[in-house]
Chain A
Amino acid sequence: MSKINASEPQTMFDKIWQQHVVTGEPGEPQLMYVDLHLVHEVTSPQAFEGLRATHRRVRRPDKTFATMDHNVPTEDVFNVKDVIARKQMQTLQKNAAEFGVSLASVGQAEQGIIHVIGPQLGLTQPGKIIVCGDSHTSTHGAFGAIAFGIGTSEVEHVFATQTIWQQKPKTMGIHIHGQLQPGVGAKDVIMVLIGQHGFSGFTGYAIEFYGDVVENFSMAERMTLCNMVIEGGAKMGQVRPDQTTFAYLAGRKYAPKDMATAIQYWSQFYTDDPTAYDEVIDFDVSDLAPYVTWGTNPGMAIPIDRTFPEPKDVNDQKAYDYVGLKPGDSPLNIPIGFAFFGSCTNGRLEDLRKAAHVLKGQHVAPGLTALVVPGSMAIKRAAEKEGLDQIFKSAGCDWRMPGCSACLGMNPDRVPAGVHSASTSNRNFEGRQGAGSITHLASPEMVAAAAIHGHFVDIRKEAIING
């Protein structure tokens, strides 16, 4: 690849973009090369069907990887009762074999949520363009990649050409600095950004997070941060690759064998100067409290120590009508009947450790259902090795097999109608976790504490965190 010579300061995004233009002029849609195409069972069948109808093949199976996650039943992954779901899963098995695509199928050692296993297998790497027929593809930007979700026709296009037509988005730098209080983390940081800037506050932007807080974040925390940018309308989120990134990737199945050369190459991806961004936001997190959502989109969020706001428009009023809460109520009083630990936002080993730390020696509130769904088979094995499953089980939680699960309830894991769910997932839309379900998004520690008490608490005041 050519070295970058630029007189003007460039963003990391600019540098990666520039290296991937196959053809096309700036200001117009450009044909971009795709280094990694991730695939799951829901948005791929029509794309494979299209290839078959036109006698095309997958151009680069060596840059394509598939798994099953959305429909997987987490109690018994081999017992798919939903006929349509089973058909979708069988179709992916058939398609992967026919087109030469690697598939981590249900029950297999590498299976898991696509945005969890991409990084885990070392497929996700700095400087790559990564696409997937799923909006939470933004997760992979945590490694200093350009990563975004695409539609079904585009999935077919990438299969056939390994490229995608894209108009370059505007860039935004979010400078995150200060000292996070104990019990406050990456989930709270991204939730407050969306809460303050709104459900569509970042529409169309390619965001880069930088500053000492981000530098000190682990890869799991960076992934949580980038995962949820889509909930603020952003096209994608990124973090500059550094020693933390390189150390995470070293030794993984599809990571470079020649790490020294790879690290030298990856190290060229950084933003020269914040003036290169189209827009910059400065964010001091020192006073940040844990956040929870009260309404029906992730922008409807407040700090745990505040009360629900007055409705400012008809959307807010509709949200209050749906969730059955009132302005002026405290999130501390929401009666929690369901707790969900998992998803591409918070289904990683570190997230499970944080929840287990709070739940250890405790028990969930009477009548409360708690599901723990590891993000991948590898995470499940690692968690069991360190005994996390025993902590969850002793606390009265259900320990499940990996998948998207109750984040969107495409499989049988659903929150009953009218029940308030404390959830480590990413969307609190009407009916998202099941018809009539009421979702409150929060961090793994906050959800764990809510499960114990049957209502939210300020995790900063809990002995397990501040003691």
Chain B
Amino acid sequence: MDKFTIFTGKPAVIYRNDIDTDQIIPKQFLKNILRTGYGQSLFYDWRYQSDGRPNPAFILNQPAYQDAQILIAGTNFGSGSSREHAAWALMDFGFRVVIAESFGPIFYNNATKNGLLPIKLTKAEVKSLSQATDQDRITVDLTNLTVQFREQTFHFTFEPMYRYKFLNGLDDIDLTLAHADEIDQFEQQLPDFGAAAPGVPVKSTLHS
């Protein structure tokens, strides 16, 4: 994961409630083998017409928003299916932050596992942010837990464990590897009773 301290980016406003993960990335795109490549299918049913051509009215199809990095939405963003692809698709498009009044809990968790910063603000604050245009820039300061928009500063909270991960650019695996000594020690006392073990010689030296 990349470190996240202070970030300034262009907002894109989709000021709706209950944007579920089916809307973020529909099921036909789940058979892929990568975490990447979902950006072009993000919000597929809104973004494309039934003939497959882009819907010019949808914000993410407008040239000014191709480099948007901060998404503004209403309540219950990312509700529904647990698919981790929803977080992957938002990040693959280029988003680093989603600001909403509330989030679906699984999406929220998945976002933090993938370095996408979910920020909860109040209804009034999100309403204010919903006025943002492509001329605006929003600054998110994770050290001071603030969102700067025009002349306003909004404060937010973020779980200390997650914040530590983002500030230091650590993922869950990094955090667990802080316990590597304990894992090593644990492995010293595993029984095997002389059983054969699977595993084959590694052909590449990249990961050894």
Q: Mark B63-90, 1 if CB is under 8 A from A, else 0.
A: 0000000000000000000101000100
Nearest-neighbour CB distance to chain A for B185, whole angstroms, equals: 8
User: Is the beta-carbon distance between B193 and A256 smaller than 8 angstroms?
Assistant: yes
Given A255-B195, A256-B193, A46 contacting B33 (CB threshold 8 A): yes
B residues touching A (Cβ–Cβ < 8 Å)? 31-35, 82, 84, 88, 110, 113-114, 171-173, 176-177, 179-180, 182-183, 186-187, 189-204, 206-208
Among residues 41 to 77 in chain A, which have CB atoms less than 8 Å away from a CB atom of chain B? 45-46, 49-52, 54-58, 61-65
Q: CA separation between A51 and B173, bound complex, in Å?
A: 10
A residues touching B (Cβ–Cβ < 8 Å)? 1-2, 22-23, 31, 33, 35, 45-46, 49-52, 54-58, 61-65, 84-85, 87-88, 91, 96-103, 122-123, 151-153, 156-157, 160-163, 165, 253-259, 261-262, 265
User: Is the beta-carbon distance between A153 and B84 smaller than 8 angstroms?
Assistant: yes
User: Is the beta-carbon distance between A65 and B173 smaller than 8 angstroms?
Assistant: no
Residue from B82, B110, B113, B198 in contact with A254 in the complex, judged by beta carbons closer than 8 Å: B198
Nearest-neighbour CB distance to chain A for B165, whole angstroms, equals: 13
Given A45-B34, A55-B207, A161 contacting B177 (CB threshold 8 A): yes
Nearest-neighbour CB distance to chain A for B107, whole angstroms, equals: 13
Q: Which chain A residue shows the least CB distance to B173?
A: A160
Interface of chain B, main secondary structure: loop
Chain A residues with CB under 8 A of B196: 253-254, 257
Given A65-B198, A265-B193, A56 contacting B173 (CB threshold 8 A): yes
Nearest-neighbour CB distance to chain B for A161, whole angstroms, equals: 5
Residue from A85, A100, A153 in contact with B113 in the complex, judged by beta carbons closer than 8 Å: A153
| Further pairs besides A46-B33, A50-B35: 17, Cβ < 8 Å | A31-B179, A33-B183, A55-B206, A57-B207, A62-B197, A62-B198, A63-B197, A63-B198, A64-B198, A98-B203, A99-B202, A122-B195, A153-B113, A157-B172, A160-B173, A256-B194, A258-B194
Given A56-B173, A153-B172, A256-B194, A49 contacting B200 (CB threshold 8 A): no
Chain A residues with CB under 8 A of B180: 161
Chain A residues with CB under 8 A of B32: 45, 84
User: Is the beta-carbon distance between B200 and A97 smaller than 8 angstroms?
Assistant: yes
User: Is the beta-carbon distance between A46 and B173 smaller than 8 angstroms?
Assistant: no
User: Is the beta-carbon distance between B176 and A165 smaller than 8 angstroms?
Assistant: yes
User: Is the beta-carbon distance between A56 and B198 smaller than 8 angstroms?
Assistant: no
Chain B residues with CB under 8 A of A91: 33
Q: 10 A–B contact pairs at CB < 8 A?
A: A22-B186, A31-B176, A87-B33, A88-B31, A97-B200, A100-B202, A151-B82, A156-B173, A253-B196, A256-B193
Chain A residues with CB under 8 A of B33: 45-46, 49, 87-88, 91
Given A51-B207, A156-B173, A157-B172, A22 contacting B191 (CB threshold 8 A): no
User: Is the beta-carbon distance between A22 and B199 smaller than 8 angstroms?
Assistant: no
Q: CA separation between A292 and B113, bound complex, in Å?
A: 41
Chain B residues with CB under 8 A of A45: 32-34
Chain B residues with CB under 8 A of A100: 199-202
User: Is the beta-carbon distance between B193 and A262 smaller than 8 angstroms?
Assistant: yes
Q: CA separation between A135 and B203, bound complex, in Å?
A: 31
User: Is the beta-carbon distance between B179 and A102 smaller than 8 angstroms?
Assistant: no
Q: CA separation between A87 and B189, bound complex, in Å?
A: 40
User: Is the beta-carbon distance between B176 and A101 smaller than 8 angstroms?
Assistant: no
